[in-house]
Amino acid sequence: MIPADTVTAIADELAVAERDRTTVPLLTARHPGMTVDDAYAVQREWRRRGVAAGRRPVGRKIGLTSKVMQVATGIDEPDYGAIFADMVYPTGSVIEHGRFSNVRIEVELAFRLAEPVDGPDATLADVLRATEHVVPALEILSSRIALEGRTIVDTISDNAAMGAMVLGDTPVRPDDVDLRWVAALLYRNGTVEESGVAGAVLDHPAMGVVWLANKLAQHGDRLEAGELVLAGSFTRPLWVHPGDTVLADYRDLGTITCQFT
C-alpha cells in the first residue's frame, strides 16, 4: 500500500486536473508499486471530498465489462466509480464540452435499485429482484490521466473515467424485456458510428451489477436502495467534439440525444 500522504497528494493532483480540464502523467509510471487497492483508496478520497463539498451521491458506474471496451482500453478487468447528482443530465440536454477532458461517449443500460444488494455472494436473481427499472443511458467519459499506456490502477484512481451521464426517459421493468437483447445504434451528427447489444456486458447487463455488489463487499460497502447503476458499455467509446450532436436509438426503449457546445 502507498502511504496515506501519497493518496492525498494524488487526490490533490487529480482535483487540479479536473478543475483545469487538463491531464496528469500516468500514476503507475510515477508510483510503480501502486495497486488496485491503492487506486480505490484515491477514488474514495475523491468521493469523500465531493460529499464534504455538498455534492450528492446518486449511484455508481461500472466500466470495462465488455470485450469491446477491454480491447479499446487494453485493460482486461472491470472497475467502478462514483456518480454524483450533478453528473446526471436528462435526454435532450445541451452539454458544455469544456467541462470534460478526452471526451467520449458510451452506450449503456442503467439499473435503478428498489432494494439493497449485498455481496460477496450476490447473484443475477438478487440483482433482478432488487431492480425497480432499467433505462437506457449514455456515459460521458472524461479522463484526467494520460490515456496512452494507462492501466486499471490509473483508471480506477480517476473515478473510472466518469465524467457524466445522459439518462433516457423510457424505463422498463427488468422482467418486461429480454435485457440481453437490448440493442442500440449510436449516431454522431446523423451518421451511425457504433452499434451493439447489451448481452456483450458479461453475457447479461445485470451481471455487471452483480460484479459490482460483490466487489463493493470487498471494500466494506454495498449497493443501496435508490442507487442508479450504469452497468457498462456495449459499444466502443466514441470521441465527441464541440458542436457534435449525439443520438442513441434503442428502438422500443426510445432514443437519447445530447448536444455538445
Residue 21: left (phi > 0), alpha (psi -120 to 50), or beta? left
CA dist 36 and 151 (Å) reads 10
CA dist 13 and 17 (Å) reads 6
In CATH, what number is assigned to the domain containing residue 73? 3.90.850.10
Domain range enclosing 36 = 4-260
Q: In what order do the strands lie in the sheet with 245-249?
A: 93-95, 255-260, 245-249, 183-188, 191-197
Alpha helices in the chain (DSSP H): 4-20, 27-30, 36-52, 67-73, 124-130, 152-157, 206-218
Query: Could you give the dihedral angle defined by the CA atoms of residues 199, 205, 211 and 213, in that order, rounded to the nearest 10 degrees?
Result: -170
Local mean pLDDT, 10-residue blocks, the chain (261 residues)? 93 92 94 93 94 96 76 74 97 97 96 97 98 98 92 94 97 97 98 96 94 93 97 94 98 97 97
Question: Under a CB-based contact definition with an 8 Å cutoff, are residues 101 and 21 in contact?
Answer: yes
pLDDT at 68: 67
Alpha-carbon distances of 37 from 33, 34, 41, 79, 232, rounded to whole Å: 11, 8, 6, 11, 21
Q: What is the pTM of this model?
A: 0.94
pLDDT at 72: 65
Q: Are strands 131-141 and 162-167 parallel, antiparallel or unpaired?
A: antiparallel
Domains in the chain, number: 1
Question: Under a CB-based contact definition with an 8 Å cutoff, are residues 260 and 103 in contact?
Answer: yes
Cβ-Cβ contacts under 8 Å for 68 (sequence gap 6 or more):
196, 200, 233, 234, 235, 236
User: Residue 199 is which amino acid?
Assistant: G
- Cα angle: 175, vertex 179, 183; to 5 degrees: 145
pLDDT at 46: 93
CA end-to-end span of the chain: 41
pLDDT at 63: 87
